[in-house]
Amino acid sequence: MTDSLKTPTPTLNTASSAATLRADLEKQPQRDRRIGDDHSSVDEKESESGRDESDFEVKFTEDDPENPLNWPSWKKWAVTILSGALVLNATFASSLPSGNISLMRHDFGFSAEVGNLALSLFVLGFAFGPILWGPLSEQYGRRMVYIISFALYLGSQIGCALSPSTASILVFRLLGGMFAAAPLTNSGGMIGDMFDAAGRAKPVAAFTVTPFAGPTLAPLVSGFMAVSGVSWRWVYWLETIIAGVFLSIAVFLQPESFKPVVLMNKAARLRKETGDDRWWAPYEKQRVPFGERMKAILTKPFRMLFTEPMLLAMTVYMSFLYGVMYLFFESYPIVFAVGHHMTAGKVGLTFLPICIGGIIGGLSFILMFSSHYQREAAKHAPNPVPPEFRLTQCIYAAPLFPLAIFWFGWTSFPSISFWAPMMAGFPVGFSVVWIFLGMFSYIIDTYTVTAASALAAAVIVRSLFGAAFPLFATQMYQGLGAHWASTVLGCIALILTPIPFVLIKFGPKLRQMSKASQAGAAALKAMSQGKSA
């Protein structure tokens, strides 16, 4: 597969040594050579100047091994697993304080509300991080951003472990979230670098599960560390060690996958090896100044969010689900520690059904809907499958989520076995993963070339919800009780449940009215016609 990027044609620089001229002439077709005893030097210059700039453009050939799409499967999955580990590490840290926040409060003397900030500020960093790491990765490539951001993230964990005051630990938590957002922001783009549309379902499902698996595993680890008498600082030292291991692996094994930057590196290598400065890559002449890219990143996602009803509806829905997930990190201790007198370690165990439900949700999506989509693609060929097909699983998952919340709330009585509310976490995790997979895929298929901005808007708003919900969770569950607080959440989820049904029915009409969707469809059609020509 070849990647062709059109660029304005600049003036050629024809200065070179005589040796280079002769070498270049030898590469010209025989019919282009002009041989004359009296005009040989003139003919050399004419032949040299007659070479078009496109002759020195660096592009991928059809089977180019440097093209990430042509990498062997083992290499693609090795990079995918490493990036997934970085995402898991980042999301693991987001809820890490929830299991030992009482020890931190004892040392620093802050209130429960300030303790909630230790969780919320990290997730708030997830909202600010994409604003920086997205444009940087498109300017300098995925590898550099991964390594620099994760090195800074490792430093923030050391800062948390050494924090002498409440203010310092809160600041380092916010910074940690911002730095940890890089793998969350760039993982989707990296999957697109390496996998075509047909092979993308499995890695996308994996990356959808990890943001839910990480936060649900962290309370288990920190809770048992707290019970064992280990200082709360060792939680952050543990995270530092884990981050250091994965950072070391990334430094030595993480390749560059952003195709424009791969071509830039190839052009630089050719210039160095041949001594000919005329080799060039399209991105070298197309790169948008960082300031302009930042301006576009800051404005375009929100313009789309407030002018695209489909995107707004899905963003609000997914953000609410994400907020409820992080609200559980404050409500579960109230239900299980206060109501059932569990230790912090055992409270951490109650999050496992959410994690297991999410993993099974991701696996079942691959087994059930991935193959089904392949059949639909063959049925609709050569036209694309309508995006509404991506929402099929949401029909089943959307009603399941509020039912699971009601189940959790009305089995949270101390007189009822803790197994009843704990097992409600399984359908919570399962339904959230199915809904996210369906809606993320719908956004990508609907907005195509502008999907990155649409997803950026969804991630930013989702992170804001995730940061805000834990702040009122304690007051809500203590004031209303676990039963009525969960009922409120379940009723809101019930109100939002029709969204996928409405999109399936009215989505085609809404897409016809959407400027962004129509522009994306036109761009894809033009590219398809260009390839077939």
Report the chain's mean pLDDT, rounded to a whole number.
83
Query: Residue 227's pLDDT band (boundaries 50, 70, 90)?
Result: confident
Q: Both 250 and 356 in a single domain?
A: no
Q: Which of 261-265, 274-278, 331-335, 374-378 has the highest mean pLDDT?
A: 331-335
How many angstroms separate the CA atoms of 284 and 87, rounded?
30
Domain end, chosen from 234, 268, 302, is at 268
pLDDT of 335: 94
Any domain includes 438:
yes
Q: Which of 6-10, 160-164, 269-273, 291-295 has the highest mean pLDDT?
A: 160-164
Residue ranges making up the domain that contains 494:
293-523
Tally of domains in the chain: 2
Does the pLDDT of residue 15 top 60, yes or no?
A: no
Average pLDDT on 394-416 reads 95
Q: Both 358 and 449 in a single domain?
A: yes
Q: Both 241 and 302 in a single domain?
A: no
How many angstroms separate the CA atoms of 129 and 152, rounded?
12
Does the pLDDT of residue 37 top 50, yes or no?
A: no
Average pLDDT on 504-519 reads 87
pLDDT of 6: 39
Pseudo-torsion of CA 256, 261, 262, 268, nearest 10°? -120
Is residue 12 classed as helix, strand or coil in its secondary structure? coil
- Report yes or no: 91 and 354 within 8 Å, Cβ to Cβ: no
Q: Both 234 and 89 in a single domain?
A: yes
Any domain includes 284:
no
Q: Both 114 and 206 in a single domain?
A: yes
Q: Both 254 and 303 in a single domain?
A: no
Q: Both 425 and 475 in a single domain?
A: yes
Q: What is the CATH number of the domain that holds 341?
A: 1.20.1250.20
Any domain includes 5:
no
Does the pLDDT of residue 161 top 90, yes or no?
A: yes
Does the pLDDT of residue 300 top 70, yes or no?
A: yes
Query: Residue 27's pLDDT band (boundaries 50, 70, 90)?
Result: very low
Is residue 280 classed as helix, strand or coil in its secondary structure? strand
Does the pLDDT of residue 430 top 90, yes or no?
A: yes
Q: Both 325 and 230 in a single domain?
A: no
Q: Both 350 and 225 in a single domain?
A: no
Domain end, chosen from 232, 251, 268, is at 268
Does the pLDDT of residue 526 top 80, yes or no?
A: no
Q: Both 413 and 500 in a single domain?
A: yes
Q: What are the b/e assignments for 215-228, b being 16+ CB within 10 Å?
A: bbbbbbbbbbbbbe
pLDDT tens-digit series, residues 173-190: 999 999 998 888 788 778
DSSP 71: S
Q: Both 112 and 207 in a single domain?
A: yes
Does the pLDDT of residue 483 top 70, yes or no?
A: yes
pLDDT of 155: 95
% of the chain with per-residue pLDDT over 70: 86
pLDDT tens-digit series, residues 87-118: 888 889 988 888 888 888 888 888 878 888 88
Any domain includes 221:
yes
CA 198 to chain centre: 19
Average pLDDT on 57-74 reads 87
Does the pLDDT of residue 70 top 80, yes or no?
A: yes
Average pLDDT on 416-434 reads 95
- Report yes or no: 142 and 193 within 8 Å, Cβ to Cβ: yes
pLDDT tens-digit series, residues 247-257: 999 999 889 98
pLDDT of 395: 94
Any domain includes 147:
yes
Any domain includes 115:
yes
Terminal-residue alpha carbon distance, the chain: 15
3-state secondary structure 325-344: HHHHHHHHHHHHHHCCCCCH
pLDDT of 287: 65
DSSP result, 103-167 = HHHHHH---HHHHHHHHHHHHHHHHHHHHHHHHHHHHH-HHHHHHHHHHHHHHHHHHHHT--SHH
Q: Both 122 and 226 in a single domain?
A: yes
Any domain includes 492:
yes
Domain end, chosen from 202, 233, 268, is at 268
Is residue 171 classed as helix, strand or coil in its secondary structure? helix
pLDDT of 198: 66
